[in-house]
A and B are shown apart, each in its own frame.
Chain A
Amino acid sequence: MAIDALVFVIGIYVLALVIALFVGVVIVAIRRLTAERVKVAAAGAESSAKAKEATT
């Protein structure tokens, strides 16, 4: 009975690991997306500054 319980609980451990790693993937995705947005915003600011410089 304890062996059955051990097998049962190892399955739960593996499932918990997979879900936890999925949370890690979500975090990495958020970091990538926000980093992209920062880059785009920085590039936008740079080009608008250049445009402003050209008009003056």
Chain B
Amino acid sequence: MAASAPPLLEASGLGKHFGGFVALENIDLAIAEGERLGLIGPNGSGKSTLVNCLCGTLRHDDGTIMFDGRRLDRVPTYKRTRLGLARSFQLPRPFRTVSLVDNLRIPLLYTVNARSGPRLHAGSIEERCFRLLDDVGLADKARRLPRDLTQVEMRKLELARAVASAPRLLFADESMAGLSPSEIEEILAVLFRLNEGGITIVLIEHIMRAVMSFSTRLVVLVAGQKIADGPPQEAIRNPEVERAYLGE
């Protein structure tokens, strides 16, 4: 069962500092396969730094990261993606000079087709790109450039591109920032579908309504330290969390 199975991702004693500023301190985090984890914290609490360290964009200074039983500490970002760790960025960062379909073709070619096993041929790749775009409602704009998209469509493209690498674990970094309530529902529906399809999801978000309805577990960071980790309703009632969000 999930309780006895080894975690998909496990960070132990993770630390990161920028000069004298401690961005992360002694973070222990285990994420089980299939989980929907919410990661919250005030601005500057270290959420994105944690994601950057786990994905390899930043190199952590202390601690270890294990993914699927493999140590990741010195593994470059692109290899982590190939192993099944994907992320979306806080501000959408599409490949702006290529079409939407090529935005998805890139991770497919460089992850799915770079793994051992049979390679997808051009036709299957094209088909899979369209299916992924269809899943997020962008199939009709497949040949357009990202600049033709609205804000919510850009967020969907960001998610679709991360999912194109066929990840086992996806970090969705503030995928709903700046969206209207109905657009948030659209993104949430996409994330639920991805999780039902077997992808473990870490949702980094400020919109509490979305985090509470999505997460099965909540981790709270404040000033680079983990101050709560547990069921969402319990975690937000933690006195330290209340103090961090509401003050003394």
Q: Is B a genuine binding partner of A?
A: no
